[in-house]
Amino acid sequence: MAYFVALISAFLALSAATALRPGRAGLFAALAYPVGWAAGELAGQGIALEGLLLGLLWWWGWPTTHWLSALVFSLAGVVVVENLSLMLITFWSRTIVRRAMEKSPDRPLRLPTPREDRFGSWWRTALQIPFHPRDMQLHRNVPYGPQLRHRLDVWRLSTTPTNAPVIYYVHGGAWTFGDKREQGRPMLHEFVRRGWIVVTINYRLAPRHPWPAQIEDVTRALGWIKKNVATYGGDPDRVVVAGASAGGHLASLVALSSDDSRWRPPEMSEVKDWSLRGALSFYGVLEMTGDETHWRGLGKGLLRLLERHVVQLPFLENEGLYRALSPYDRIRPDSPPFFVVQGINDTLVDVNVARAFVTRFRQVAFAPLYYIELPFTQHAYDLTASPRTSATTRAAVAFAESVTLARPKLTPALVASYQVPPTRLSIQVARDTWLDAQDVAGDTGPFFVVTSDNPFSQRYEEGVNEERRLAFRASLTRRGLEFLESIGRDIYDTWPDEKGVALHAVGRDVARGVARGWDQFAYYEVDADGVTVRAVASDEVLV
């Protein structure tokens, strides 16, 4: 019995060591995820199991051999210390997450406190079992297309209000396995209890259904949500998409492809708005070419999986195709807001993949991005209801609520108020010199005028607008954009002056991205012949 206890204790010690410092080569790399995940997420159970083993050995009869007794004691001590360290790390994650959100360079967000959780109670967190709310209504296996895997579930409460925001969740599984019932449950249960509609889907899997079947199905399900979610009480204009691992890839890709019609089903042509309010990627595969500058040795395995099972085409002869399915290569100035979570100890998706995506997004896009990097954290950490999972859930809630605020409609009266006149645009060309925008365009060439004031034409207090202006200009400066100050004045004095910027030497895509990133209905295109008002949502001229 003593040898058996020593053997199991040695395994527990090595497992915890793998969770703290996973291997990245050979057999150690192969075992890093399955062994390290269990040890990292079930540290309390590891200590309990060690205690049970010692109790069993005491009942059986403690070994009289000195060296064997010392070995058992030593191994037990190592197991307890390692697992206590892992438990402390999960609680430390609360601080890491809060600081990442509150000190983000992109419009910091305050997080709810643990006491404000609607469903993630302390005892559920202690048990780490993702129970669902008893009052949750589950509409199972609703068809969203003709194929067997075209099935989705809708979660809600009996008390969920109408026009509720929607979180659309895509499961992971290397594009080859997985099910809508298996992943993201601790987070999604919290969203349900907070009055959200949750939609989870199945989609066709490789290798039986090669790419692009997966993104076609994810896009088709989004079309179903836009058409039908109001029947279940959801607001089709207030949808965020989320996913983990391969699901994080698909969620990010559909969010970054709202203007790309190639994956849309032809029978959904009546759906005009394919945009999403935001995307949440949990340890997502955000780069799909296997670039080793991002993957640090894991890229070959990704390409092998894609070439043999998913895409089923060689990368070297189809590099354009691979880049088209890579979220990293699809970031644009008008990309929607993002929320990215990545574990540093992830041995399936290297942390540099997320870092590269975040860096590029902040260089190119103008919407906010929130990035949380979790120390000593393995892939799929959020399958259990741990303190770490509850912390990132609170962050996800703060992000999703911030991007799904109800927006007023762009009414004809509001469109008329944007025209020039009644708005008069002035540009500051010197310290005390302001000129009419058209006159400036005649001297300097065409430009665009964008403001951060009064998002979606909702009148904000001057102090709030001033804070937004400072962050707005800092964002432009960080991206290397030069600008002149502008003021938009209502000649009838029915609306306060709005301070903005005149952007020269940029394309319309950048101007539109700036306006979308700062929650505007419209922006101005100015040349010597006149001022054109363009809608941010469609980029069409507002007349």
Q: How far apart are CA 47 and CA 40, in angstroms?
A: 12
Tokens 């070994």 correspond to 63
Question: Which is catalytic among the residues 9, 15, 93, 245?
Answer: 245
Cis peptide bond N-terminal to 422, omega within 30 = yes
Total length of the chain: 543
Residue 131 per-residue DSSP state: P
Q: How far apart are CA 502 and CA 531, in angstroms?
A: 13
Cβ–Cβ < 8 Å for 526, 504: no
Type and span of the H or E element at 434: strand 433-436
Instruction: Say if strands 234-244 and 447-451 run parallel, antiparallel, or are unpaired.
Output: unpaired
Residue 481 phi, psi dihedral angles, 5° rounding: -90, 130
Instruction: Say if strands 433-436 and 423-430 run parallel, antiparallel, or are unpaired.
Output: antiparallel
Instruction: Say if strands 483-490 and 423-430 run parallel, antiparallel, or are unpaired.
Output: antiparallel
| Three-state secondary structure readout of 498-509 | EEEEEECCCCHH
Q: How far apart are CA 411 and CA 87, in angstroms?
A: 54
| Three-state secondary structure readout of 67-126 | HHHHHHHHHHHHHHHHHHHHHHHHHHHHHHHHHHHHCCCCCCCCCCCHHHCCCCCHHHHH
Tokens 């041995």 correspond to 347
Query: Is 379 one of the annotated active-site residues of the chain?
Result: yes
Q: How far apart are CA 454 and CA 452, in angstroms?
A: 7
Query: Assign residue 279 a region: left if phi > 0, alpha if psi is -120 to 50, beta otherwise?
Result: beta
Question: Which is catalytic among the residues 346, 350, 382, 453?
Answer: 346
Type and span of the H or E element at 278: strand 278-282
Query: 105-110 — which CB contacts under 8 Å span 24+ positions?
Result: 105/362, 105/478, 106/362, 106/367, 106/368, 106/369, 106/370, 106/475, 107/368, 107/402, 107/471, 109/370, 109/395, 109/398, 109/399, 109/402, 110/398
Residue 107 phi, psi dihedral angles, 5° rounding: 50, 75
Q: Which amino acid is at 193?
A: R
Radius of gyration (Cα) for the chain, nearest Å? 26
Question: Which is catalytic among the residues 150, 171, 249, 379?
Answer: 379
Hey, which residues are catalytic here? Answer: 245, 346, 379
